[in-house]
Amino acid sequence: MSVLPLVFTSGWASGINAYAVVLLLGVFGATGLADEVPASLQRTDVLVVAGVLFLCEAVADKIPYVDSVWDSVHTVIRPVAGAVVGALLAGQSGSLSDLAAGAIGGSTALASHAVKAGTRMAVNTSPEPFSNIALSTAEDLGVAGIVTFAVFHPTAAAVIAAVLLAAGLAVLVFLWTRIRRFLRRRARGREEKRLAAGARAAAGPPG
């Protein structure tokens, strides 16, 4: 399939920022810069919704702990978006090749989402917010650059995306200790809040 490199790259990018992928591909298709983009991604309503959600993600993704909540919500959304975009890029006939493209886009998106979500958990173990802002900005620029590059040079972009995905998975394994520490701290915080609420309820109203 000649469109497979673009499917793989869009899947990788969807795992990081699915709304940016839909927005960029739609704009490229609507302006005539890319012939592979299906008409459904070029619709005005799709572009408007993707643009609004992209702005929401651009803000939420740069706030410590809020970014992890946002990632949790998008654990299903990003892989589904990667699968849908992959299937649309391959065609809309429901053939085996379309389903395969959807599977590739979805699984790649799931892998890159796991890297992003896990990395954010590790970054959130740091008390300062600047690392979140820097990492989120780098992700936004990386997605924009890779998707744009993929439109014109899909095979080279797919190779870059594969290298970035492999490197990200390696970093995720390395950071797993910090991630577990973050999860334990968050669970401990929830337990402390629950106990405090129970103590206030048992004490009853003052006076």
**What pLDDT, in 10s, does the model give residues 164-202?**
999 988 888 887 776 677 777 777 877 777 777 766 666
Task: Give the Cα separation of 150 and 136 in Å (integer).
Answer: 21
Q: What is the mean pLDDT of residues 79-108?
A: 81
**What pLDDT, in 10s, does the model give residues 145-161?**
999 999 999 999 999 99
What is the pTM (predicted TM-score) of this model?
0.79
Task: Give the Cα separation of 11 and 207 in Å (integer).
Answer: 60
Q: Give first-to-last CA distance, the chain, whole Å.
A: 75
pLDDT at 118: 83
